[in-house]
Amino acid sequence: MAALGQTSIVAVIGSGAMGAGIAQVAAAAGHTVKLYDARPDAVDKALDGICSAWGKLAAKGKMSAAEAEAAVGRLVRAPSLAQLADADLVIEAIVENLDAKRALFAELESIVADDAILATNTSSLSVTAIGAALRRPERLVGMHFFNPVPLMALVEVVSGLATDAAVAQAVQDTAAAWGKSPVHAKSTPGFIVNRVARPYYAEGWRLLSEQAADPASIDAVMREAGGFRMGPFELMDLIGHDVNYAVTKSVFDAYYGDQRFTPSVLQLEMVDAGFLGRKAGRGFYRYAENAVPPQP
């Protein structure tokens, strides 16, 4: 099984922060990309954001106006899942919830062709468990992009127990053809990055609950002295507190309540308040509504 050809059709399900970024990268790489979301307004927002991002790249001379126009023409709104029947690769980027992902893939299996690859952008859920609901779990693989997708090179390609090695290789080759740096991992809770990064956030929350310093000071110290690109609070604002809480909880549960991964009660407070970070205009910091995510 080879990397996707240029004429292959990519479907992206979920047009939030990640789905929009994935659609942008796949369309820029030359694919027709069909975008679906349970909320049609999310697709509108994603398409507006992508077009605005390409407009800015064209204005800066990083993309020609003709390239931007052609890429816009490759983005297709899919009003229903049935419209994704001709997809060669489906990338799911919906809510981080095992039951929701399983139900979606079970429905998709009866829509797409038998040789279509099914990929999940899950941050932390077991690819094995998501695939277990499928008739053909061997064609399900994790394709875990990082936020913001156009800027971040890393993609974790994650194999569940049943994933066919050729499917994982095809997705790795495809990610590389899209200019990304894929790394292969087996499905373990949080995979590589979200496992190693959990204590970074957890210690940030602990410092905050002990009132050691305010978020801006902790972020500044980690950026300027720690050498991190972002401090824990600005990074969680970028990820989205709903998504980050779901990931923390999923890793905590998967390790049978290992205390190292205990979610903070303050974390849930942020979610309950709707202070979800950049996408909500408010997290630890305030943001302009509809701010375009950082671009290369």
Closest listed residue to residue 278, CA positions, set 251, 242, 248, 246? 242
For position 279 contacting ligand NAI by CB under 6 A, the verdict is yes
How far is it, in rounded angstroms, from Cα 44 to Cα 14?
12
Binding region for ligand NAI (CB under 6 A) out of 8-16, 105-113, 169-177, 261-269? 8-16
Angle at alpha carbon of residue 137, lines to 120 and 245, rounded to 5°: 35
Given the residues 123, 124, 147, 187, select the one marked as catalytic. 123
Residue span 71-100 as binding mask against ligand NAI, x where in contact by CB under 6 A, dash where not: ----------------------xxxx---x
Shortest distance in whole angstroms from residue 6 CB to ligand NAI = 25
Strands (E), the chain: 9-13, 32-36, 75-77, 89-92, 117-120, 140-145, 154-159, 181-186
Active site residue 147: no
Closer to ligand NAI by CB, 74 or 279: give it: 279
Shortest distance in whole angstroms from residue 233 CB to ligand NAI = 14
Given the residues 92, 96, 109, 156, select the one marked as catalytic. 156
Binding residue count for ligand NAI, defined by CB under 6 A: 29
How far is it, in rounded angstroms, from Cα 170 to Cα 5?
11
Tokens at 37, concatenated = 């979301």
Q: Which residues of 238-269 are buried (b: 16+ CB within 10 A; e: fewer)?
A: bbbbbbbbbbbbbbbebbeeeeebbbbeebee
Active site residue 241: no
Residues contributing to the site for ligand NAI (CB under 6 A):
13-19, 37-39, 42, 93-96, 100, 104, 121-123, 144-147, 239-240, 243, 247, 279
Active site members: 123, 144, 156, 194
